[in-house]
Chain A
Amino acid sequence: MQRFINYSFLFLAFSIALVSCNLEQEIDINLPGYESRYVVECYLEPGQPFSLLLTRTASYFDPFPSTNAEFLDDILVDGATVTIVHNGQTYTLQNGLFFNPLSRKAYNYLAPDLVPADYEQSFELNIVTPEGETITATTRILRPVPLDSIVVEFLEADTLARVLAYFKDIPNEQNYFRRMFHEHSLDSIPLQDFATDDRFVEDNFVFGSAYDFAVGDTVFNTVFHIDRPYYDFFNSVQTAASSNGNPFGQPSPIISNLQGTANSIGIFTGLSYDRVMTIVER
């Protein structure tokens, strides 16, 4: 919501800027010294192998390498020891370069073992970096919240419909959700992607769309049940990404749930979701 309002102001600012000519120019900037730090992305999805992406940050104006291979080389951190402990068992993730063709996501640490669907016991992450520093984190996997129903509604005199997704909030606790809404395929940029909590909702959540869909269109509704640290992390990443270029934006540092001696940012969390594909028909 805040981002939407920020974007509206951004629109206004750019209208003003565009109306006056040539008010944008490239300049040289010297940012103060910056020390690279680690970035960890580790999502525990029950039924999927344990996987983790460990990369490093770069100084903002560092040039980008000209080939993909060099780019990966630059950012991927290899040579670290990555283990996850759960219920007395230690899973060691092997270093390599692993690519999931379905999700088209890459990981440089993977264990052959699958993540158990354990919603009770916690998981503990331990990384020892090539320099010998540590990154640790703890999380639990939350129970997925199922989508109750997907409703396709057409406007009376129109050929376009909207899609509403209903699900039930868990009572008596503070919950956080991430909603994604895609058109055509999950590989495309989502039409909606935001995280929210349940403070406005009594028991039923509904997420809707605009009247944009014709018969035959395919849409995907996803709702992730997430924990507070992931909610904070995701929002801080979105805020950081959107405040560059927005004069009305309040930048945000990345909020992570990582501890340890190494300077790091990132997230270690469980991934529980429900996803429904709907083909629009009358």
Chain B
Amino acid sequence: MSTTFRLNLSFIYPIQLLVMIFRRFVEFYLPYKPFLRYQAEQIMNMKSPYFSIALLLMLQYAAFGQQQFTVSGVVRDGENGETLIGASILALPSEIGTTTNEYGFYSLSLPQADSLVLEFSYVGFQPIRKVIALKANAKVDMEMGSGVQLEEVVVKANAYREQLKSTEMSVETISPREAKLLPVAFGESDILKILQLKPGIPSGSEGTTGLFVRGGGSDQNLIVLDEATVYNPNHLFGFFSTFNSDAVKDLKLYKGGFPAQYGGRLSSVIDVRLKEGNNKQFSGSGGIGLISSRLTLEGPIQKNKSSYIVSGRRTYVDIFTRLVNNANEGVEDYSPIPDYYFYDLNTKLNFELGEKDRLYLSGYFGRDVFGFDGDFFDFNFDWGNATGTVRWNHVFDAKLFANTTLTYSDYQYNIENKLTGFSFNLGSNIRDANLKTDFFYALNNKHTLRFGGNATYHQFTVGRLKAGSDDGSVSFSAGNDYDGVEAGAYISDDWVATDKFKVNMGLRFSGFFNDGQSYFGVEPRVAANYSMTERVSLKASYARMYQYLHLVANAGVALPTDVWYPSTAAIKPQRSDQVALGVSWLLGKDYFLEVETYYKDLKNQLEFVDGAEIFANDNLENEFAIGKGYGYGFEVGIEKNEGRLTGWIGYTLAVTRRGDFKPIDDLERFSDTGYFSPVYDRRHDLSIVGIYELSRKLAVSATFVYGSGDLRWLPGGRFTFQDVYGGGFQVVTPDYLERNTYRLPAYHRLDLGLIIRFFPKWGESDLTINVINAYDRRNTFFIYLEPIFRQESDGQNTIEVPERIAAKQVSLFPILPSVTWNFKF
């Protein structure tokens, strides 16, 4: 050594003493701290004379005061350029990691290094390791599945690792693969119906897509499609959802522990993200089925920089029914089959404007049309959603990402009825204009902040009625227009307190302003995750939600005529408080077990008063009664995502009650005092789902569901109503007492699917054969009580005399086979 390097190192000797103590500590207490162990081993292996210098240099690596840089970027699918949501990035050997956000963006703070390894992983792709030198903030984008990888260690992407460590709990996801392979009615792959197979999410009545999450009503679900709110996610009475699964990239349903960026509905958040479009080459997919067909076309506008995707679907049963009607024209007593069709169209354009900005334009249009043209009257019913969204992503710097969205949406329904000389038009609509901005700030590895705000201007027309004769001699109109502004602002921090304990603390402020009436709410959101071991995590969460818009629905099947109503002076916002506790357990290599229990408290719930008049009522408010509700339950789910056999088993045991309802208007009545169960108080709900890949060409899938029957409000007794002269004599009139006391028979069903894949030159295709309700179980759709009469004559007059009452059950779906041919190019 030359003299220039001679340092006074006498202070090293006390450090060597500390090192010995440190060594003891390392041996016994740090088996799971690879980074510290790495450092400690370095220290322990000091024998060289350069030990002191090494130690000095390493002290600079220690947690305090070292140089940190940010690595950020976007992770995409190498085949089509789609950004990947929730992809995992792990820096080795430090094991500091993060996941990509909804736009595929990630940000990591890492210490300076000459060389460090970044491991990118995502379900369905081989993990990729990339070696980088970190001496300044770095932008590292990655395309998965692009074949660039190190071969030495093939680390199987553990899909559950992120789920185990995340503070997110009470979340269900559906992958596009599951959506495609699981058998569904009519061969129409339907994301909402598959969500109903997950624990905590029982389905609505037979075949419908209504979601009653943890005892909440079907209007308490916030459904967001690329940041735009969807008011009615159903076609045809709820047999099909409005989501075309070919266009969906990612779907997450939160049952509890709602992150602070979501607000406005009490019971669930369904965040649906559409694909952006293949920005590398033109491709398409679609299918032809029994009821409907669909086609998706996507491609680049400018390769690797911008792309488009157009996805459409239409039913064509109406073509056949019209043919049948034409053939039967003129036949006596022939009642024409009503015309029914629906279509949906998703369109999206996305542009990369430079390194820091991306712009997305998307639109959704869906319509259901039902028509009946008879001899004497015409009846036309159409309803639909239309939404348009503009989104702008901006990366400020390596740590700060923002998304701003401007949305316009229009939901309406129209009933038109024409008798000869008279017409009648009933409708309702909601128009929203929404501006929203969300910031994602990876402050450091311990704190990830999200903050932002949104404001929505709602315009409602409720119960708009116009009726009149063609000559104008009779006309009347009614209806109410409301407008209101709903706003929210939030901040949340995903805090890695220690490496075992993470907490996501959030606060959301929300408000609603309507006609001089204003409401404010503070919604705390807390979710915590404690990693007991590498395989077991304990989770807990609390969330308060406010809901300012209310769906006014009939007790029966959900209809598009159900009306959305704003909070007013008399109708306060609904509120829910939910506490959830859970354990997540990674069993073996492939199985993931989640057990959760929750309690939910609901306030300011709405029900209709006895004999409510819903249509054409200028004072609709007076038909409501306000009360409370609560629900609690226990959910177990075990899942396997890898291997030939994949699937899950989910079981939910739950109780839901509502009660203490008092009418707003004193003149009205709500006869049920105390607490009662809503129709969807399903006690048990079991789903067993499995997909087995027999070979590259063949896969089979099966779904078995079993649930306690829903409840129905059946009459307790009957009486004879004589009426006045001129009125009809009703021998059997129902006397309805307490609501929803009758439980329908248990609902169960087995669905089977077979997928035969072909690999022609131009792409891929498959034939999907489904059998729904394989053992032809006649599940109850509804029950009615029918008096059976017999004729009795006293010589002069014949009257009908009742003999007995028969209970009749109507089912909707017998065994339903279907074939769909799907293709992809």
A residues sitting closer than 8 Å to B (CB atoms) are 1-2, 5, 8-9, 12-13, 15-17, 20-29, 31-32, 34, 36-37, 39, 41, 43, 53, 55-61, 63-64, 68, 71, 75, 100, 102-106, 155, 162, 180, 182, 186, 189-190, 193, 199-201, 206, 208, 210-211, 220, 222, 224, 228, 232, 235-237, 239-241, 243-255, 265, 271, 275
Complex CA gap A228/B469 in Å reads 29
Interfacial chain A residues near B719, Cβ < 8 Å: 39, 55-58, 75, 265
Q: Measured between C-beta atoms, what is the minimum distance from B770 to chain A in Å?
A: 17
Interfacial chain A residues near B806, Cβ < 8 Å: 26
Complex CA gap A235/B376 in Å reads 27
Q: Quick one: closest A residue to B376, CB to CB?
A: A210
Is B810 in contact with chain A by the CB < 8 A criterion?
Answer: yes
Asked if residues B726 and A24 are in contact (CB atoms below 8 Å), the reply is: no
Q: Quick one: closest B residue to A100, CB to CB?
A: B725
Query: Out of A13, A26, A208, A251, which one reaches B734, CB within 8 Å?
Result: A251
Given A180-B726, A253-B737, A255-B669: A57 in contact with B718 (beta carbons within 8 A): yes
Q: In which size bucket is the chain B interface?
A: 35 or more
Per the 8 Å Cβ criterion, residues 6-61 of B in contact with A are none
- Which of A13, A105, A182, A240: most chain B Cβ within 10 A? A240
Q: Measured between C-beta atoms, what is the minimum distance from B553 to chain A in Å?
A: 9
Q: List 12 A-B contacts (CB under 8 A).
A: A1-B615, A23-B778, A32-B742, A34-B737, A60-B734, A199-B478, A240-B736, A243-B734, A247-B782, A249-B556, A254-B736, A271-B724
- Which of B614, B616, B719: most chain A Cβ within 10 A? B719
Interfacial chain A residues near B716, Cβ < 8 Å: 31-32, 34, 59-60
Q: Measured between C-beta atoms, what is the minimum distance from B812 to chain A in Å?
A: 7
Interfacial chain B residues near A8, Cβ < 8 Å: 379
Q: Measured between C-beta atoms, what is the minimum distance from B453 to chain A in Å?
A: 39
Is B421 in contact with chain A by the CB < 8 A criterion?
Answer: yes
Q: Which 5 A-B residue pairings sit nearest by Cβ, starting from the closest?
A: A103-B725, A245-B784, A247-B782, A34-B716, A57-B719
Is B555 in contact with chain A by the CB < 8 A criterion?
Answer: yes
Asked if residues B801 and A43 are in contact (CB atoms below 8 Å), the reply is: no
Interfacial chain B residues near A15, Cβ < 8 Å: 337-338
Interfacial chain A residues near B421, Cβ < 8 Å: 155, 162, 211
Complex CA gap A25/B419 in Å reads 35
Complex CA gap A20/B207 in Å reads 15
Complex CA gap A1/B613 in Å reads 9
Asked if residues B809 and A20 are in contact (CB atoms below 8 Å), the reply is: no
Complex CA gap A56/B717 in Å reads 10
Is B739 in contact with chain A by the CB < 8 A criterion?
Answer: yes
Stretch in B511-519, B593-601, B604-612 with 4+ CB within 8 Å of A = B604-612
Complex CA gap A206/B422 in Å reads 13
Asked if residues A190 and B726 are in contact (CB atoms below 8 Å), the reply is: yes
Asked if residues B615 and A20 are in contact (CB atoms below 8 Å), the reply is: no
Complex CA gap A254/B671 in Å reads 9
Q: Measured between C-beta atoms, what is the minimum distance from A123 to chain B in Å?
A: 17
Asked if residues B376 and A23 are in contact (CB atoms below 8 Å), the reply is: no
Interfacial chain A residues near B728, Cβ < 8 Å: 189-190, 193
Interface of B, secondary structure class, is loop
Q: Measured between C-beta atoms, what is the minimum distance from A32 to chain B in Å?
A: 5
Asked if residues A240 and B733 are in contact (CB atoms below 8 Å), the reply is: yes
Interfacial chain B residues near A105, Cβ < 8 Å: 722, 724-725
Asked if residues A28 and B807 are in contact (CB atoms below 8 Å), the reply is: yes
Asked if residues A23 and B812 are in contact (CB atoms below 8 Å), the reply is: yes
Interfacial chain A residues near B556, Cβ < 8 Å: 246-250
Is B534 in contact with chain A by the CB < 8 A criterion?
Answer: no
Q: Quick one: closest A residue to B239, CB to CB?
A: A16
Asked if residues A32 and B813 are in contact (CB atoms below 8 Å), the reply is: no
Contact mask for chain B residues 732-751; partner A; CB cutoff 8 A; 1 contact, 0 none:
01111101011001000000
Asked if residues A58 and B742 are in contact (CB atoms below 8 Å), the reply is: no
Asked if residues B557 and A248 are in contact (CB atoms below 8 Å), the reply is: yes
Query: Out of B667, B741, B778, B807, which one reaches A228, CB within 8 Å?
Result: B667
Interfacial chain B residues near A21, Cβ < 8 Å: 814
Given A247-B782, A250-B554: A61 in contact with B805 (beta carbons within 8 A): yes
Is B80 in contact with chain A by the CB < 8 A criterion?
Answer: no
Complex CA gap A118/B675 in Å reads 45
Complex CA gap A2/B613 in Å reads 7
Is B302 in contact with chain A by the CB < 8 A criterion?
Answer: no
